[in-house]
Amino acid sequence: MLKFMAKRILDLIPTLFGISLLSFFIIRMIPGDPVLLLLGERGADPAVYEEMKKSMGLDLPIIEQYWVFLKDAFQGDLGESIISKRTVVSEFFDRFPATFELGIVALIFAVICGIPLGIVAAVKRNSFFDYFLMGGSLAGYSMPIFWWGLVLILIFSVQMGLTPVAGRMSVMFDVDTVTGFMLIDTLMPEIIKDEGFAPFFSALSHLILPAIAMGTIPLASIARMTRSSMLEVLSEDYIRTAKAKGLSVGRVIAVHALRNALIPIVTIIGLMFGSIITGAILTETIFSWPGVGKWFVASVNARDYPVIQGAVLFIATMVVIINMFVDLIYAFINPKMRS
Amino acid sequence: MEEAIDKTSVEKDPSVLKEFWDDFSKNKGAVGGLALILVFILIAVFAPLLAPHSPSEIFGDALRVGPNWSDNGKAGFFFGTDDVGRDILSRLIYGARVSMSVGFMVVFVAMLIGVNLGLVSGYFGGWIDRVIMRCTDILMSLPSILLAIVVVAILGPGLNNTVLAVAVVAVPSFVRIVRASVIAEKNKQYVMASQTFGASSLRIMYFEILPNCLAPLIVQGTLGFSDGILNAAALGFLGLGAQPPTPEWGTMLSDARAFIESSPWMVTLPGLCILFSVLGFNLFGDGLRDALDPRLKK
């Protein structure tokens, strides 16, 4: 196990190196002069131009530039936004809790709906319900979520008036940031004392639609995976033995089958982190959710290159490290994987 | 007499294609997917004949007219018009052209790069294999939309750059699939035989091994179509892909967002087109995989 862990962690180094190279070259591959691009019209003044070039470190040889970039990145310095003039790291961490909260709720939604649906489809194999569900999950899997989010808004916000259209919180309430997670912050004792549970429900109602939109593709893959994994397990001999012993169907499924069927399901849930980020970029843009995804798209539209560069480095590193943890956890549960 | 013999031999040894079709047509979803794809392709090819108006023609007296069956519908605009008075049906029809060609170009470019890299990687092995695989690992570790946005951020928005960006995202899966089948094939006897005959590496790679890797490649190509269409539409939606007035479905959706309360048909229809075209390729791809790869059959 230790050997596997060491190998998996060492494997990370070249990947992280590649990611750092990629994000380093983003700003340097833009056609034209990055200094002029950042300065705009004022770049015409040679003194300002030289100063800017120096402050960006673009007067150094390229190898040295990369070295400086790496050194800064390791010290948590990813430069600052051209627009807000704040550091990329602090901008990122301001927004990260919003994305994290949305992502977690979306995943919980996907798991809570996906696993039972998959189980029922497997148990009632080839029934109408099974076909209906698998057709639905294929549609969910092909869903353009940027459209799906709009349809949800159209139905639940515009037509039925049930949920708010955008944002994280009603402007009526003033909630102090404690953890950054609205669902927790609105339950702080002083908020409940002043405003009751209204802020909590406001936060919840803002969260529901984006979480459904973001959770739809994971839901579809979890349901499909659960179904095929359950089907495989249900045909095993030990399940027949359990049934022959006279155990109830519910007990056989919940205790005997599900436990083994869960292994591949847990893996794909872990590996969904990447698609959660993809979902965040689109979902946050639709629902004006103040998270990392919306910030990233806005930076690309504003051509705020330091932010693009920093965000890519940050997000990619996070995805890679989380995938490594998923692998390690998987190897821990399933010894067959360690070789 | 001769005819009779021919007939029996044909019946005993059905052609590969027929066998494939027999397997494939058992899967109703896959046939439905193929039908969907054919419909979209026909619409794309015959767009000028089918569309009642030009996709960019502006009808100043018909702004945001509803579909024909709604209260504020207007004759001549079956699906209504958009915010500047263009016929939505015509734009959707021409949109099929844009999306189908984007899907095709993405798969073509990604295959061209991916197949060559995969062949080299799998056939030669060693350091070149390690370098190529490491690069695909890095590309695959990035969420697909993020990577596509990065490429667009470098190149600038637009339809051509969208194709490039989405193709870059699709390359790693082609590399992996070709590499895996090359590694499985290269130690087989027919390869050794041509090596003994003194065939060059290039000849063995492209004429001996590649034809035997076609099945997984066709499946991946079909699925690449759906990812390509979806990612290109997502970029269009974010304002980073095809630029207005191109009748691209994602871009149309992005325009329609502002009118979601007053003109919901502007939002619903382009999204349905994206959904059904992506669904078609996914269904078809899944069916192909089952029919071409007997090992995967349940």
pLDDT digits (tens, 9 = 90+) for A47-84: 777 777 777 777 778 888 888 888 888 888 887 787 78
For the segment A232-257, the average pLDDT, to the nearest whole number, is 83
Q: Which two tokens stand for residue B33?
A: 């997917």
Cβ atoms of A288 and A13 within 8 Å: the answer is: no
Contact between chains at B149 and A158 (C-beta distance less than 8 A):
no
Q: How far apart are CA B234 and CA B237, in angstroms?
A: 5
Q: What pLDDT sits at residue B43?
A: 93
Q: How far apart are CA B170 and CA B224, in angstroms?
A: 7
Q: What pLDDT sits at residue B9?
A: 46
Among candidates A228, A254, A226, which has minimal Cα distance to A242?
A254
Please check the confidence at residue A282 and state whether its pLDDT lies above 80. yes
- Determine phi and psi for A18, rounding to 5 degrees: -65, -40
Is B76 or B163 the better-scoring residue by pLDDT? B163
| Chain A residues touching B287 at Cβ < 8 A | none
Burial (CB count within 10 angstroms: exposed 0-12, middle 13-18, buried 19+), residue A1: exposed
For the segment B78-88, the average pLDDT, to the nearest whole number, is 82
Please check the confidence at residue B92 and state whether its pLDDT lies above 70. yes
Instruction: Average the pLDDT over each of A46-55, A200-209, B5-14, B101-110 and give the range with the smallest value.
Output: B5-14
Q: Which residues neighbour B20 within 8 Å (Cβ) at sequence distance 6 or greater?
A: B291, B292
Compute the nearest-CA separation of A191 from chain B (Å): 34
Compute the nearest-CA separation of B59 from chain A (Å): 26
ipTM here: 0.83
Q: With an 8 Å Cβ cutoff, is A29 touching chain B?
A: yes
Q: How far apart are CA A21 and CA B176, in angstroms?
A: 22
Percent of chain B with pLDDT over 90: 36
Check the CA dihedral B24-B26-B31-B32 and report its sign: negative
pLDDT digits (tens, 9 = 90+) for B148-187: 988 888 888 889 999 999 999 999 999 999 999 899 888 8
Please check the confidence at residue A102 and state whether its pLDDT lies above 70. yes
* Residue in chain B nearest A156 by alpha carbon: B261
Among candidates B67, B62, B66, B68, which has minimal Cα distance to B84?
B62
Please check the confidence at residue B110 and state whether its pLDDT lies above 50. yes
Q: How far apart are CA A238 and CA A252, in angstroms?
A: 10
Q: What pLDDT sits at residue B3?
A: 47
Q: What pLDDT sits at residue A110?
A: 92
Coil, helix or strand for A167? coil
Percent of chain A with pLDDT over 90: 12
Q: What pLDDT sits at residue A40?
A: 66
Minimum-distance CB partner of A319 among B134, B143, B267: B143
Please check the confidence at residue A229 and state whether its pLDDT lies above 80. yes
For the segment A14-34, the average pLDDT, to the nearest whole number, is 80
Cβ atoms of B230 and A278 within 8 Å: the answer is: no
Contact between chains at A146 and B144 (C-beta distance less than 8 A):
no
* Residue in chain A nearest B144 by alpha carbon: A278
Please check the confidence at residue B1 and state whether its pLDDT lies above 50. no
Compute the nearest-CA separation of B277 from chain A (Å): 9
> What residues are paired with B114 via a beta bridge?
none
Is B283 or A29 the better-scoring residue by pLDDT? B283
Contact between chains at A15 and B271 (C-beta distance less than 8 A):
no
Among candidates A216, A227, A221, which has minimal Cα distance to A117?
A227
Q: What pLDDT sits at residue A111?
A: 92
Coil, helix or strand for B81? strand
**Chain B residues 26-85 with CB within 8 Å of chain A:** 29
**Chain A residues 247-306 with CB within 8 Å of chain B:** 274-275, 277-278, 281-282, 285-286, 296-297, 300-301, 303, 305
For the segment A22-40, the average pLDDT, to the nearest whole number, is 74
| Chain A residues touching B142 at Cβ < 8 A | 19, 22, 274, 312, 315-316, 319
Contact between chains at B146 and A139 (C-beta distance less than 8 A):
no
Q: What pLDDT sits at residue B229?
A: 93
Percent of chain A with pLDDT over 70: 94
Q: How far apart are CA B243 and CA B157, in angstroms?
A: 8
Q: What pLDDT sits at residue B297?
A: 45
pLDDT digits (tens, 9 = 90+) for B21-31: 887 788 888 89
Mean pLDDT over each residue of chain A, to the nearest integer: 83
Radius of gyration of chain B (CA): 23
Q: With an 8 Å Cβ cutoff, is B142 touching chain A?
A: yes
- Determine phi and psi for A80, rounding to 5 degrees: -130, 155
Please check the confidence at residue B274 and state whether its pLDDT lies above 90. yes
Task: Quickly state the pLDDT bin for B93 (edges 50, 70, 90).
Answer: very high
Is B281 or B81 the better-scoring residue by pLDDT? B281
Q: What pLDDT sits at residue A339?
A: 54
Cβ atoms of A329 and A269 within 8 Å: the answer is: no
Q: With an 8 Å Cβ cutoff, is B107 touching chain A?
A: no
Q: What pLDDT sits at residue A337?
A: 62
| Chain B residues touching A15 at Cβ < 8 A | 134, 137-138, 141
Q: What pLDDT sits at residue B40?
A: 94
Among candidates A75, A50, A60, which has minimal Cα distance to A28?
A60
Q: Domains, chain A, ranges and CATH?
A: 1-83+302-339 (no CATH), 96-296 (1.10.3720.10)
Q: What pLDDT sits at residue B10?
A: 45
Q: What pLDDT sits at residue A210?
A: 93
For the segment B265-283, the average pLDDT, to the nearest whole number, is 91
Contact between chains at B141 and A319 (C-beta distance less than 8 A):
yes
| Chain A residues touching B238 at Cβ < 8 A | 146, 281-282, 285, 297, 300
Contact between chains at B134 and A14 (C-beta distance less than 8 A):
yes
Q: What pLDDT sits at residue A338?
A: 62
**Side chain identity at residue B208, one-letter code:** E
Task: Quickly state the pLDDT bin for B14 (edges 50, 70, 90).
Answer: low
Distances (CA, A) of A333 to A226, A237, A319: 18, 22, 21
Please check the confidence at residue A205 and state whether its pLDDT lies above 80. yes
Minimum-distance CB partner of A144 among B240, B275, B286: B275
Q: With an 8 Å Cβ cutoff, is A49 touching chain B?
A: no
Q: What pLDDT sits at residue B129?
A: 92
Q: What pLDDT sits at residue B39?
A: 95
| Chain B residues touching A19 at Cβ < 8 A | 138, 141-142
Please check the confidence at residue B11 and state whether its pLDDT lies above 60. no
Total-model pTM:
0.86
Give the number of other CB atoms < 10 A from CB of residue B189.
Answer: 7
What's the distance, CA B105 to chain centroid?
8
Q: What pLDDT sits at residue B178?
A: 92
Q: What pLDDT sits at residue A44?
A: 64
| Chain A residues touching B149 at Cβ < 8 A | 281, 296-297, 300
Domain B26-296 has CATH 1.20.59.10: no
Compute the nearest-CA separation of B256 from chain A (Å): 10
Minimum-distance CB partner of A146 among B237, B260, B261: B237
| Chain B residues touching A14 at Cβ < 8 A | 134
Mean pLDDT over each residue of chain B, to the nearest integer: 85
Please check the confidence at residue A186 and state whether its pLDDT lies above 80. no
For the segment B213-223, the average pLDDT, to the nearest whole number, is 89
